[in-house]
Structure 1
Amino acid sequence: MEQGVKNEWVNWHCGQPIDVWPAPVDHPWVADYTRWLTGPKARLLDSEKLFDGLCGRLTEAGVPIDRCVLLFKTLHPVYPGHNYFWTRERGTWLVPLSHDFDNSERMLVSPYQEALDRGTAVRFDVSHGTETRMPILNELAHEGYQELVCELIPFTFGQTPGITFATKAASGFTAEATALLRAAVPPMATPLEVRAQRLTLGAVLRTYLGAAPGSNVLDGVIQRNDVRRLTCAILLADLRGFTEKAERWPSDSLLAALSSYFELLDRAVRRSGGDIIKFMGDGVLAIFPVEEAGSSRVACQRALDAALTARMQLPSINAERRGRGEEPIDFGCGLHIGEVAYGNIGSMERLDFTVIGTAVNLASRIQDFCKTLAQPVLLTADIASEVDMPLVSCGKHRIRGITTPVRLFAPADANAIRTGSLQSA
């Protein structure tokens, strides 16, 4: 390509459309690459390893790529997409994207956005280090890169990922190297789309069902009454005064309070090795399977640790709420251990992956007694005998649906839990 044309690209701060690029060459590498991409080994690779394989094979073919970035979107409440990065020095790594990325300057003024706007691939000469309106091109120029190519990867269902290749070679990408890049990208569309859809499906299932239930459904556990028995420690939490607050508080204030409360418990449960199975209005149901914990003692301790961790962080959240002129929130936790039915329950047309059983009902009833006994956390004797923490007996109580009175226990220093000053939590 003549230098004058390349200078014009820099001055105009944009790329050259793909239709003036050299056509793909009849190169033996293309056939080898296609066989690898459609072969049995590549089918087992996830998106990251597939991307790494593409970069490695292009490098082996003599294409002087020094940096490659693959961007594609997924459906996720926190990370709506991923950037896969590859460099010669570091190899491949993943960077999740935030929800505001689409509207950020780095995205709106980027080679990828330029390619989207044009509807075709583009290339940029950055060898002169001229300041452009695209931050990434300025950064690459300062790092010694000479040329960047951005190509689109159209998916069947409307999403259009992009991939960029950058080189530090003094001559940029030759005609043959550019042709190999053009030949390499289109066959990646279908394999990447299949993996992107599975990644999206997995993220949605884990977000709405929980980590373990989501993985079970993704693995094919989808038939009604497809359940298994398991023993687990159960944590059931309930927000205090929710009904009364729902009548007084504006809906946005109520939703914000619920989100803070749910996030608090979710972090504590996941940190302690458990899984939230369900949000039930203002209630939270979480389990800590004995099989995963290795013993009932570990499972019970994990459940108690989660309850204490969440309770200990509540004072700081309430301090922030008071600082904004908002009322504090409070919740109680009931803990029990027992056998549950875990799996798909529901109608032919509407299933729920959940846990049911007497143990779950008992944990729910115990949580109700947190209000009656003015305790932030209550445990049954079954779980109290397994945990390593000073406890006090709260006596025996008749619980609706349970024929025999149930002895309840509470952490000995309940006041320290309320104030967030318990040292062992």
Structure 2
Amino acid sequence: MNLSAPLAWLVDHAGASPSPESFLAELGRRLLADGLPLAGGALTLAVPHPIIASRTWLWRAETGAVIEALDFPGSPPTKAGHDWLAGLGPVQADVAGRASNSPLLGWAWAGEFSPDEAERLRQVTRFAAAPLAALAAKAAQTALLEAYLGRRTAARVQAGGMHRGTGETIRAALLCTDLRDFTALSEVTEPAAMIAALDAWFDRVAGAVHAFGGEVLKFIGDGVLAIFPVTSPSAAEACDAGLRAIVAARAGMTHLDKTRQAQGLPPLPFGAALHFGEILWGNIGSADRLDFTAIGPAVNLVSRLEGLCRPLGRSVLISGAVAAETTTALVPLGEHTLRGIAAPCAVFTLPGD
């Protein structure tokens, strides 16, 4: 059986595509080279994700560029791709598989198309089912790992970094945050309401961390440990990103507390500490149950520094190591002894805290 060039590629090589967007771009390019007058293409995959129902990649024949659109629960899962294609010309879309959540592959014509051309695209969808199933499984695995582990750790696990005792040293600004009086609040609050409060708190902190290029390493009870890795010779950029994230999180919590007050609910006071140093982000645990954990003196210090927020009556404390790297105006609070830390720590806070 002689296969066309696009079908041969689907059989022999498409399964090795590094990502759905590269698959769509390469398939579209090959179909154009095979004489099909396409204006664009769209590929939709359902993903197991806390807030995303499906991801759609949109390819434009004129430029070869691929962009991504997200569908959220409650919206039609194919709407983004279909509407975009319809703006380019007549549309043909086929499910590349038999399951209800199978990948959806769609194309738009630059002009009129013949029954023969439509049949050729149906054959393409048929041959694309196997490699797309592999890509969908990989995308689902990536989404699950990133949701539970974060991007950095998920990438390491997928790359085979699952050996106990392995790790990497990271220079970063470390953010440690914790809700105040959480235990007392949980004793008098219904579990569902307590979970909703925790989710709202984590949304503000994690949202601020991610907005400024950081990564949440751990949710620990009602606390968060996050890092802003150094990506240039200077550590100032990482420290400044951590400071901006704290300001954003504090603004978000101020708004949340006003909303809770209007609902007759108590505020959610918190403490946050920022330090700069090296951590070992390592794979530890038992032989059959592993966890990625941040360890090292810098982690100990930022945790102890956060615990100083209540005695000092502050919501934000910043170490001298951060102050030495940033030009942001900080308010000195003197040197303080931290439990379990040998040397006194120079402590600062933000203006107005």
TM over 0.5: yes
Q: Which moved more, 1:54-63 or 1:353-362?
A: 54-63
- Is the partner of 1:101 in helix, strand or coil? coil
Q: Does 1:212 align with 2:185?
A: no
Contact persistence 1:240–1:329 (CA under 8 A): yes
Contact persistence 1:63–1:173 (CA under 8 A): no
Partner Cα separation in structure 1 for residue 56 and residue 63 of structure 2: 15
- 1:85/1:144 CA distance change after superposition, 3 Å: closer
Counterparts of 1:313-352 in structure 2, within 5 Å, are 313-352=252-291
One-letter code aligned to 2:96 = I
2:31 paired residue among 37, 41, 58: 58
2:345 paired residue among 393, 406, 412: 406
Q: Does 1:100 align with 2:74?
A: yes
Residue 243 of structure 1 aligns with which residue?
Answer: 183
- 1:161/1:324 CA distance change after superposition, 3 Å: same
Residue 294 of structure 2 aligns with which residue?
Answer: 355
- Is the partner of 1:395 in helix, strand or coil? strand
Counterparts of 1:296-311 in structure 2, within 5 Å, are 296-311=235-250
- Is the partner of 2:200 in helix, strand or coil? helix
Q: Offset of 1:42 from its aligned partner?
A: 7.6
Q: Which moved more, 1:83-92 or 1:297-306?
A: 83-92
* Larger Rg belongs to: 1
2:58 paired residue among 64, 85, 100: 85
Partner Cα separation in structure 2 for residue 269 and residue 359 of structure 1: 18
Contact persistence 2:45–2:54 (CA under 8 A): yes
Q: Offset of 1:187 from its aligned partner?
A: 1.9
Contact persistence 1:167–1:173 (CA under 8 A): no
Partner Cα separation in structure 1 for residue 106 and residue 212 of structure 2: 40
Q: Offset of 1:373 from its aligned partner?
A: 0.6
- 1:330/1:69 CA distance change after superposition, 3 Å: same
Contact persistence 1:343–1:354 (CA under 8 A): yes
Residue 49 of structure 1 aligns with which residue?
Answer: 22
- 1:295/1:67 CA distance change after superposition, 3 Å: closer
Partner Cα separation in structure 2 for residue 54 and residue 191 of structure 1: 12
- 1:359/1:180 CA distance change after superposition, 3 Å: same
One-letter code aligned to 1:97 = D
- 1:52/1:345 CA distance change after superposition, 3 Å: same
Q: Does 1:223 align with 2:163?
A: yes
Residue 229 of structure 2 aligns with which residue?
Answer: 289
Partner Cα separation in structure 1 for residue 123 and residue 77 of structure 2: 31
- Is the partner of 1:328 in helix, strand or coil? coil
Partner Cα separation in structure 2 for residue 65 and residue 371 of structure 1: 63
- 1:68/1:44 CA distance change after superposition, 3 Å: closer
Q: Which moved more, 1:79-88 or 1:191-200?
A: 79-88
Residue 114 of structure 2 aligns with which residue?
Answer: 173
Q: Offset of 1:334 from its aligned partner?
A: 1.3
Counterparts of 1:132-147 in structure 2, within 5 Å, are none
1:154 paired residue among 91, 97, 110: 97
How many aligned residue pairs are there? 351
- 1:384/1:43 CA distance change after superposition, 3 Å: same
CA RMSD in angstroms, aligned pairs only: 3.0
Partner Cα separation in structure 2 for residue 323 and residue 221 of structure 1: 48
Q: Does 1:271 align with 2:244?
A: no
- 1:280/1:149 CA distance change after superposition, 3 Å: same
One-letter code aligned to 1:163 = L
- Is the partner of 1:185 in helix, strand or coil? helix
Q: Which moved more, 1:93-102 or 1:53-62?
A: 53-62
Residue 254 of structure 1 aligns with which residue?
Answer: 194
- Is the partner of 2:238 in helix, strand or coil? helix
Contact persistence 1:36–1:42 (CA under 8 A): no
Q: Offset of 1:44 from its aligned partner?
A: 4.2
C-alpha distance after superposition, 1:1-30 (max 9, x if no partner) = xxxxxxxxxxxxxxxxxxxxxxxxx7x6x3
Residue 22 of structure 1 aligns with which residue?
Answer: none
Residue 76 of structure 1 aligns with which residue?
Answer: 49
Residue 191 of structure 1 aligns with which residue?
Answer: 131
Q: Which runs of 5+ in 1 are unaligned?
A: 1-25, 112-135, 415-425
- 1:145/1:274 CA distance change after superposition, 3 Å: closer
Partner Cα separation in structure 1 for residue 145 and residue 295 of structure 2: 20
- 1:56/1:364 CA distance change after superposition, 3 Å: same
Q: Offset of 1:102 from its aligned partner?
A: 4.8
